């Protein structure tokens, strides 16, 4: 259904918003801004009085960071070298891009919105930086990134999980990713075992990277204000990572964290879980080994699961189910994991439990593996 935009009170038009170069002219859901030349553009070649109009869409996370001190702090904390190629996801109108271009050799900007790309390219050309900027006008989750040294970005918060997974588990080696994220999301990423925010996201990212808190950023530093505050974190890929099959690790942590505050004994003994695992093992038809698959690749870890009864009548005899359940419980008991809760376990402990399952011939698999869509699509579909 179409909703009419509210007409504007006359005295709002032309009211300059804060110290920056945007004026608010529109409604809540879709706001229209006039991007005027900013202080940096002032002494350059931009035409006097030139203005760029744009409607910002919340659905695309279009909150423009306008505080120059924050932008400069992000660039400083990114430790960019003059020889670096920086990947920026979601450059928007280019406030951060302009500062990155001053510090780096090259910037690759991936932006989904063609209107933003047009503004960005004009702005960059006015400063004579066009030779050092490559713009990819595509969805960052569906694009194969070229080689880069660093990521620096104020990303749309809606794609935080799959984007971090794509970077952390992707094929491109890089030094660090300095990202502006929703504050609560950043806290989860930084959480340690035992913290209330600790979840599967932190477990999986910590397996392959170190995460450092950099600073908080107020919602008032954006136009329009988002509902939430933000934090900057720096993610540094580890040089050495455990020798584990990542597909199996993701399926395993999804199973463990399906109820993160329940004991592992309670999680793995659920009738529905045992039957589902056994059903998968039959489908996988792997010799000797019992295959355990978790088909809910994009589920919410913190959500309570549905009832314990599923329609699994075709999943083996009662005897088979009983034996399989005993095998799982035997592994948990032998490793003293039965009474432990995943939210309190370190990655070393989880890796140990996975190796005990593997030694008992129990493996974890995920449907996304081998789906023929290539690695980029695979990592993009992953949600920690
Ligand atoms: C939070 S704004 C950041 C703008 C700018 N970097 C700044 O700091 O002011 C996010 C930007 O990401 C873009 N965007 C949203 N979804 C995207 C996607 N899937 N791939 C690439 N860009 C996306 C939006 O159009 C928007 O320009």
For residue 4, is it within any domain?
no
For residue 284, is it within any domain?
yes
Residue 156 and residue 268 share a domain: no
Does ligand 1 have an atom closer than 6 angstroms to the CB of 345?
no
Q: Can you give the pLDDT at residue 274?
A: 72
Residue 253 alpha carbon to ligand 1 centre in Å: 30
Residue 141 and residue 40 share a domain: no
Residue 61 alpha carbon to ligand 1 centre in Å: 6
Helix (H) or strand (E) holding 151: strand 150-154
194-198, 278-282, 361-365: which is most confident: 194-198
Mean pLDDT of 193-199: 93
Q: Which of 112, 120, 139, 221 to mutate to test the pocket of ligand 1 (most atoms within 8 A of CB)?
A: 112
Closest of 257, 319, 233, 252 to residue 291, by C-alpha = 252
Mean pLDDT of 162-178: 94
For residue 40, is it within any domain?
yes
Does ligand 1 have an atom closer than 6 angstroms to the CB of 66?
no
List Cβ neighbours of 291 (8 Å cut-off, separation of 6 or more): 280, 281, 283, 284, 363, 365
Residue 260 and residue 206 share a domain: no
Closest residue CA from atom 12 of ligand 1 = 90
List Cβ neighbours of 64 (8 Å cut-off, separation of 6 or more): 22, 33, 56, 92, 93, 95, 222, 223
For residue 73, is it within any domain?
yes
Residue-wise pLDDT tens digits, 6-65: 322 222 222 223 333 333 333 333 455 556 555 444 434 344 334 467 899 988 999 999
Q: Can you give the pLDDT at residue 149?
A: 98
For residue 142, is it within any domain?
yes
Q: Can you give the pLDDT at residue 8?
A: 26
Structure confidence at residue 318 as a pLDDT band (50, 70, 90): confident
pLDDT above 90 (res 145): yes
- 65 among annotated binding-site residues: yes
Last residue of a domain, one of 237, 258, 291: 237
Does ligand 1 have an atom closer than 6 angstroms to the CB of 64?
yes
Residue 41 and residue 131 share a domain: no
Q: Which of 17, 92, 163 to mutate to test the pocket of ligand 1 (most atoms within 8 A of CB)?
A: 92
78-92, 265-279, 352-366: which is most confident: 78-92
Residue 323 and residue 349 share a domain: yes
Residue-wise pLDDT tens digits, 99-117: 999 999 999 999 999 999 9
For residue 7, is it within any domain?
no
- 90 among annotated binding-site residues: yes
Q: Please give the residue range of the domain that contains residue 319.
A: 249-380
Structure confidence at residue 268 as a pLDDT band (50, 70, 90): confident
Give the chain's domain count: 3
Does ligand 1 have an atom closer than 6 angstroms to the CB of 75?
no
For residue 6, is it within any domain?
no
Structure confidence at residue 381 as a pLDDT band (50, 70, 90): very low
Alpha-carbon distance 81 to 67, whole Å?
23
Q: Can you give the pLDDT at residue 311?
A: 38
Alpha-carbon distance 15 to 204, whole Å?
46
For residue 373, is it within any domain?
yes
Residue 77 and residue 216 share a domain: yes
Residue 199 and residue 84 share a domain: yes
Q: Can you give the pLDDT at residue 283?
A: 62
């Amino acid at each position: 259904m179409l909703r009419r935009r509210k007409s504007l009170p006359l005295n709002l038009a032309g009211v300059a918003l804060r110290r920056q170069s945007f004026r608010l002219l529109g409604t809540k859901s879709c706001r229209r801004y006039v991007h005027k030349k900013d202080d940096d553009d002032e002494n350059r070649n931009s035409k006097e009085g030139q203005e760029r109009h744009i409607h910002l869409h919340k659905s695309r996370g279009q909150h423009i960071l306008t505080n120059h001190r924050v932008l400069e702090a992000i660039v400083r904390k990114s430790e960019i070298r003059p020889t670096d190629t920086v990947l920026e996801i979601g450059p928007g109108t280019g406030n951060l891009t302009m500062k990155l271009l001053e510090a780096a050799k090259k910037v690759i900007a991936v932006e989904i919105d063609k209107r933003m790309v047009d503004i960005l390219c004009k702005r960059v050309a006015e400063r004579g930086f066009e030779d050092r900027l490559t713009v990819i006008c595509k969805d960052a989750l569906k694009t194969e990134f070229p080689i880069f040294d660093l990521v620096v970005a104020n990303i749309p918060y809606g794609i935080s999980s799959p984007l971090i997974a794509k970077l952390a588990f992707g094929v491109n080696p890089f030094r660090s990713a300095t990202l502006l994220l929703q504050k609560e999301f950043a806290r989860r990423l930084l959480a340690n075992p035992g913290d209330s925010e600790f979840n599967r996201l932190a477990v999986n990212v910590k397996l392959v990277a170190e995460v450092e808190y950099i600073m908080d950023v107020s919602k008032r530093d954006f136009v329009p204000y988002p509902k939430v505050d933000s934090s900057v974190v720096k993610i540094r890929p580890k040089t050495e990572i455990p020798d584990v099959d990542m597909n199996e690790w993701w399926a395993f942590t999804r199973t463990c964290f399906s109820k993160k505050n329940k004991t592992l004994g309670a999680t793995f003994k659920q009738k529905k879980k045992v039957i589902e695992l056994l059903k998968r093992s039959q489908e996988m038809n792997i010799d000797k080994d019992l295959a355990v698959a978790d088909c809910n690749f994009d589920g919410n870890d913190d959500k309570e699961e549905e009832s314990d009864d599923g329609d699994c009548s075709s999943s083996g005899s009662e005897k088979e189910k009983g034996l399989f359940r005993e095998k799982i419980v035997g592994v948990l008991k032998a490793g003293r994991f039965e009474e432990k809760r995943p939210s309190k376990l370190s990655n070393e402990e989880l890796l140990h439990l996975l190796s005990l399952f593997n030694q008992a011939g129990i493996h974890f698999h995920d449907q996304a593996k081998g789906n023929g869509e290539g690695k980029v699509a695979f990592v993009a579909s992953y949600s920690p």
